[in-house]
Amino acid sequence: MATGRRPTARVLVSPETAALLDDARIDAISTIRRDVTKTDLADAMVRVALNHMDEVVALLTGETK
């Protein structure tokens, strides 16, 4: 039985990162003065990270600035 809704993709993060994302969402809402869904925020964060892979690699290898 199809509901017509697309399945939601999941991004797995640690509980600590999830808490930081929740705080970032609150900050984003107060900054841009409109509702920001968790999906909107996650999409934006991942897109920015994909444009800064050098920083992502540095974080993963412990070579942060």
- pLDDT digits 0-9 by tens, 15-25: 999 999 999 99
Number of domains in the chain: 1
Considering the domain boundaries, does residue 30 fall inside one? yes
Determine if the pTM surpasses 0.85: no
Q: Give the residue numbers spanning the domain of 50.
A: 13-64
Q: What is the DSSP string of the chain?
A: ---SPPPPP-----HHHHHHHHHHHHHHHHHHTS---HHHHHHHHHHHHHTTHHHHHHHHHT---
Considering the domain boundaries, does residue 24 fall inside one? yes
pLDDT of residue 8: 75
Considering the domain boundaries, does residue 8 fall inside one? no
- In sequence order, which residues have a C-beta less than 8 Å from that of residue 38 and are 6 or more positions away? 21, 25
Considering the domain boundaries, does residue 4 fall inside one? no
- In sequence order, which residues have a C-beta less than 8 Å from that of residue 35 and are 6 or more positions away? 29
With cut-offs at 50, 70 and 90, classify the pLDDT of residue 54. very high
Considering the domain boundaries, does residue 40 fall inside one? yes
